[in-house]
Amino acid sequence: MAHSLSLLDGIGAGASQAKKSALAGMGVPDALLAGSSGSVARMQANAVIAADGAAPLPHANASSSAATAAADAAQGGAVKMFASIPADDAEIKAAPVPYRGSALYVLFTDLLLFIWQAPYIPTALVPLNLNRGAYPFQDMTLQGVVFQILALACSLLVLPVLFSALFVGIPAPVPTLVATWAGASLFLFAQGPEVVFGRNLAPDGHADEAWFFINGVATTPSGTRKALARFKELFGRNVVGINNRSLGPLADLAQCLIQRDLRWPTRDASAGYEVLKAALNDVAMGSKKKVVLIAHSQGGIIASAWVDQLLADFSREVLGALEVYTFASAASHFSSPLDSAGRPPFAHVEHFAHTLDYVCRIGVLAFTSPAGASLPVSGKTDSHTGDGPGGTAVLLPNADYPMPITSTFYGLLFVQPAAGHLICTHYLGDKSILNSRQARSHSRLARYMIEHGAALRRKT
């Protein structure tokens, strides 16, 4: 608990007024922002007692606390909420990201992080959620499964040869690179040339909104379409899919390293940015009022790069119509510079993560400042205890308000103590983080789900 007390004291006492305003806008209570040791201690004590199940949450009665505990248990554990604001450079130097070191150094430290968290790779596919259909076909088709197995087998054969050619010179580097490029092109060709899905669907009753989704690692076009169908089921919106084509799980992880550390845009990412930019141009022209971007896994890296470019291409007035939601983001940062009044350029930003999800542990959960090391993974910062890969899984107390942290990610962060990386099976399944009481109370994305469910009930 010492970590969170020192964290709150530091933000409450030393944060600029702009940062405090940004935190207040994300639901952080005034008592925490005021830096009052007495009020902070009381709130912390109440939260700790509630987390231990010995007393109700603040402003709750015993019966509602019991119901809350039962709901949390059904979800696999209480979801923690964090209000993340940009860290000052002095706070984040322990976490090297681009422009804080040479390209080779950043690649090397990222590679170490990927390897250090490797014991969590198997958790990406569990639990086997069978309630909504045959696992794993909630997220992919049989052809997609076969494609990923074949691509993985080829990657295991090709990548060692490629590294040997580049760093040892055996076999000859140039022919090896040409052969590797030809093989990758063949896998991309097998997935078809289409990058954008779902632009010509029937009206959904939200003509002034534009929704987009960029998929993550090991996702074939059929998997992206399944995710789009799930979004329509949950939110009642037509979502346009940006098809981030896959080269197989291992090659996609290697691509993650290159994309986030060397800023390498693929053809799919470039085409998707043009589609997103066109929607924001519609906002500028007055034909759209809202643009929503959902990103999963490797898609979080692409979304992060898109956001960086959007900040250069559009005014804050236009960007004020954009909402961004990421699931298991593999990015190293999410930019959202605050103005002097603490207002972010975007309408709303939320991130959702599982503590045991490998991609979260190399992404959104790994890039906090040393002061924010109470997150489940200390990642590139030094672990306070050194227990286990990437540090001990320590969560801040269970609370009904977001806890402020500094991070390279801006936005509300919802963290669930769970495994699983698949977007439909795990993040949007029966035990979805969106169904947690914390998300239903504080998440705007969960609000869309609740409102759509209520509209369906009224129709019946």
Which one is predicted more confidently, 160 or 290?
290
Q: Residue 309 corresponds to which amino acid? A: Q
pLDDT on residue 168: 84
| pLDDT, tens digit, 9 for 90 and up, residues 331-376 | 999 999 988 888 999 999 999 999 999 999 999 988 765 544 545 5
H or E element, residue 1: none
User: Edge-to-edge, what's the strand order for the sheet holding 290-296?
Assistant: 196-197, 239-242, 209-214, 290-296, 322-327, 348-354, 411-416, 80-86, 403-407
| pLDDT, tens digit, 9 for 90 and up, residues 376-390 | 544 333 322 223 333
Question: What is the dihedral sign for C-alpha 60, 65, 69, 74?
Answer: negative
CA angle in degrees (0–180, nearest 5) for 20-24-25: 120
Percentage of residues in the chain having pLDDT higher than 70: 75
DSSP state of 397: P
Widest pairwise Cα distance in the chain: 72
pLDDT on residue 408: 83
| pLDDT, tens digit, 9 for 90 and up, residues 395-406 | 444 457 788 777
Exposure pattern of 386-412 as b/e (b: 16+ CB <10 Å)?
A: eeebbbebbbbbbbbbbbbbbbbbbbb
By DSSP bridging, strand 239-242 and strand 209-214 are parallel
Reply yes or no on whether the pLDDT at 11 is more than 90: no
Q: What is the mean pLDDT of residues 141-161?
A: 90
How many CB atoms lie under 10 A from the CB of residue 127? Answer: 15
Which one is predicted more confidently, 61 or 370?
370
pTM for the whole structure: 0.84
Kindly report the average pLDDT of the chain as a whole number: 78
Which one is predicted more confidently, 272 or 15?
272
The answer to whether residues 333 and 367 touch, using CB atoms and an 8 Å cutoff, is yes
Instruction: Find the range with the poorest average confidence among 71-85, 181-195, 317-331.
Output: 71-85
| pLDDT, tens digit, 9 for 90 and up, residues 426-448 | 999 878 899 998 999 999 999 99
| pLDDT, tens digit, 9 for 90 and up, residues 210-259 | 999 999 999 999 999 999 999 999 999 999 999 999 999 999 999 999 99
pLDDT on residue 263: 87
pLDDT on residue 97: 62
Separation CA 451–CA 212 (nearest Å): 19
Domain ranges in the chain?
Answer: 2-80, 89-459
Separation CA 234–CA 61 (nearest Å): 32
